[in-house]
Chains A and B, each alone.
Chain A
């Protein structure tokens, strides 16, 4: 006989999390599955209760300290917390907090192109974020490629570079290669190199414009954009070819 089925569990409908449903007199209830077990199994069950309970509380404690502001406990136990949280339990819920972003940050790119006849030219600036914006306009389901790809690649680059645009560590190097590959793919889609040209090097900059304060507010903000200009990045030959291939493969796909 399975004890689970024997239990007075007609109260399933009331098993609502977050709400304590009062059960009828517990002393009148038949003995539980736990009580029906022999001692060794009871000890096993008790151990399970302890282990599962401690594990759940420990996990929640770690997550709490991970999302909490830096404090006495987090400073003392940084290693323990990070070891537990990374890589799979990482999380960030500062959604539009403490302040929402108040600037439109556009990522732009231009390229030095070598033409087939040996000539060279520099293209104008391509506003890649404006292209994203166009793809998002009127789109009920924007793709991550339009909404996150370039935006987050730029954030990643800023986070892994100092104010003088010098990369720091592995992440800095990865961020540069990533952004370079994105802009190459986009330039290729635009046909920036022309029919026979190849892209020698690219330059990326950001243009940040303040979001205009609401009409009903008296606040004044500058409307002139500020730029952050990175240095020219040479394009490795294999990557130029690869970018062409990748873009060719995705060309013609609807958004």
Chain B
């Protein structure tokens, strides 16, 4: 008996050290973080484009939630928004266009580390400017834009990864690579903007976002300095470890946040009489604000048994989901069910952007094998389309490079310093 204790403690300490080894050495879930990045940036991009004709009414200085009203509320709660830096029309249009641009570039994975910060600034600036315009979809996006900043979400399926691949493909390592000019320029401009913001007293609200902005800016600067001082220094390894740690913690937070969303939604529903008597689903289908297709809504609630099954099924899936993470197969089945349900909600309740955001959040739980197959198929379709467009039959070197994009060995060798060079 007494001999068992040291054995158990030895195995415990071994698994702890193995765990620490994993979270310090690797940025886990490269495909999952990439799909989350793509999912949320696409959602926000499509939303901004869709609302482009309504942008003045939603977030403009003369909209119903006027600049003045927003000013009073934000003076009270300290939320971060660059739209309060100026009440001018020009500034507003500029911020809106930059928010569109940031989501497009993050989607493509260009300078992911910097763009994820700018994406967050865009999301927070517009949403915090008019908080009463948003719904659950905006809320998920708001949180995820904050979390994404801490991840290395451009390890795969990004222009960054492509750039790193090309750099590695260069024949000789001591063949002097062209110095990166865009990065330092971007960094310098953002630094000036940050300093300007501080000097003008525009960052006096809640400290969270300014701290994130300064932190990321400094981290990038430190990363460059360390990288320049020689190739394999210990400082660089340490920075890399910190980057991996932060990434892994953020990935964990994203997953836990998704679980909290489902758990809250499920457990509160259990307490409702309509979810208990099995009629709940009938009601949202017949609210004027959530029934773009009344005939479809009627059809869906025409059978009492069906409504009961969907009502109970929704609650069961939402409550159960976090627990199924311990079993791969059950988790994948529930994931498919939830994504389908959200796709149905998109159409039936007229909530496409909410649904898209939820599906993007769900996607963090997709299996790597599935994501890689998806990626391969996407690259193949893209390559075929490109080839057809060019009409010259052969596959260009460009496409061949892209097709190898999903190769894990290739991936493992990818620049570990995305965090500080991007």
Q: Could you tell me which A residues sit within 8 Å of B by CB distance? A: 1-5, 7, 9-10, 12-19, 23, 26-27, 29, 32-34, 36-38, 41, 44-45, 48-49, 52-53, 55-56, 59-60, 63-64, 67, 86-102, 104, 106, 129-130, 132-133, 136-145, 147-149, 151-153, 156, 170-171, 174, 177-178, 181-182, 185, 211-217, 242, 245-246, 249-250, 253-255
Mark contacts of B199-220 with chain A using CB atoms, 8 A cut-off: 1 yes-contact digit, 0 otherwise.
0000000101100000000000
B350 touches A33 (CB 8 A): no
Q: Could you jot down 21 A-B contacts, CB within 8 Å?
A: A2-B237, A12-B30, A12-B408, A12-B412, A16-B367, A17-B32, A48-B242, A59-B253, A60-B256, A88-B208, A101-B284, A102-B283, A136-B288, A137-B292, A144-B58, A145-B54, A147-B290, A152-B133, A178-B65, A216-B303, A245-B62
- Which of B23, B69, B136, B232 makes the CB contact (< 8 A) with A95? B136
Mark contacts of B388-422 with chain A using CB atoms, 8 A cut-off: 1 yes-contact digit, 0 otherwise.
00000000000000000000110111001000000
- Which of B25, B231, B235, B272 makes the CB contact (< 8 A) with A7? B25
Contact A144/B124 with A15-B368, A33-B24 known, Cβ cut-off 8 Å: no
Which residues of A have CB within 8 Å of B22? Answer: 23
Complex Cα distance, B57 from A181, in Å, reads: 11
B368 touches A94 (CB 8 A): no
Interface band, chain B:
35 or more
A86 touches B77 (CB 8 A): yes
Residue B76 is within 8 A (CB to CB) of chain A in the complex: yes
Complex Cα distance, B50 from A115, in Å, reads: 38
Residue B379 is within 8 A (CB to CB) of chain A in the complex: no
Complex Cα distance, B50 from A255, in Å, reads: 9
Complex Cα distance, B128 from A140, in Å, reads: 26
Complex Cα distance, B368 from A14, in Å, reads: 7
Query: Which residues of chain B from 51 to 65 have a CB within 8 Å of any chain A CB?
Result: 51, 53-54, 56-58, 62-65
Complex Cα distance, B151 from A56, in Å, reads: 13
* Contact stretch, chosen from B96-104, B111-119, B182-190, B243-251: B243-251
- Which of A15, A63, A99 makes the CB contact (< 8 A) with B274? A99
Mark contacts of B266-308 with chain A using CB atoms, 8 A cut-off: 1 yes-contact digit, 0 otherwise.
0011011111000111111011111111100000011110010
- Which of B18, B62, B279, B350 makes the CB contact (< 8 A) with A213? B279
Complex Cα distance, B412 from A53, in Å, reads: 25
Complex Cα distance, B325 from A48, in Å, reads: 27
Q: Which residue of A lies closest to B65 (CB)?
A: A178
B411 touches A12 (CB 8 A): yes
- Which of A26, A91, A136, A249 makes the CB contact (< 8 A) with B18? A26
Which residues of A have CB within 8 Å of B135? Answer: 144, 147-148, 152
Which residues of A have CB within 8 Å of B79? Answer: 87-88
A138 touches B283 (CB 8 A): no
A88 touches B234 (CB 8 A): no
A181 touches B292 (CB 8 A): no
A91 touches B143 (CB 8 A): yes
Which secondary structure dominates where chain B touches chain A? helix
- Which of A32, A145, A242 makes the CB contact (< 8 A) with B25? A32
Q: Which residue of B lies closest to A182 (CB)?
A: B64
Q: Could you tell me which B residues sit within 8 Å of A by CB distance? A: 14, 17-18, 20-26, 28-30, 32, 50-51, 53-54, 56-58, 62-66, 69, 72-73, 76-80, 124, 128, 132-136, 139, 142-143, 146, 206, 208-209, 231-232, 234-238, 240-242, 245-246, 249-253, 255-257, 260-261, 264-265, 268-269, 271-275, 279-284, 286-294, 301-304, 307, 325, 328, 331, 347, 350-353, 364-365, 367-369, 372, 408-409, 411-413, 416
B289 touches A97 (CB 8 A): no
- Which of A137, A143, A211 makes the CB contact (< 8 A) with B51? A143
A147 touches B350 (CB 8 A): yes
Complex Cα distance, B54 from A139, in Å, reads: 15
- Which of A13, A44, A92, A132 makes the CB contact (< 8 A) with B139? A92
- Which of A9, A56, A133, A144 makes the CB contact (< 8 A) with B133? A144
Chain B: minimal CB distance from A56 (Å): 4
B18 touches A23 (CB 8 A): yes
Which residues of B have CB within 8 Å of A253? Answer: 53-54
B416 touches A143 (CB 8 A): no
Which residues of B have CB within 8 Å of A136? Answer: 288-289, 291-292, 350
- Which of A2, A67, A140, A178 makes the CB contact (< 8 A) with B292? A140
Contact A143/B69 with A15-B28, A88-B79, A185-B64 known, Cβ cut-off 8 Å: no
Complex Cα distance, B134 from A148, in Å, reads: 7
Which residues of A have CB within 8 Å of B286? Answer: 104, 211-212
Q: Which residue of B lies closest to A99 (CB)?
A: B272
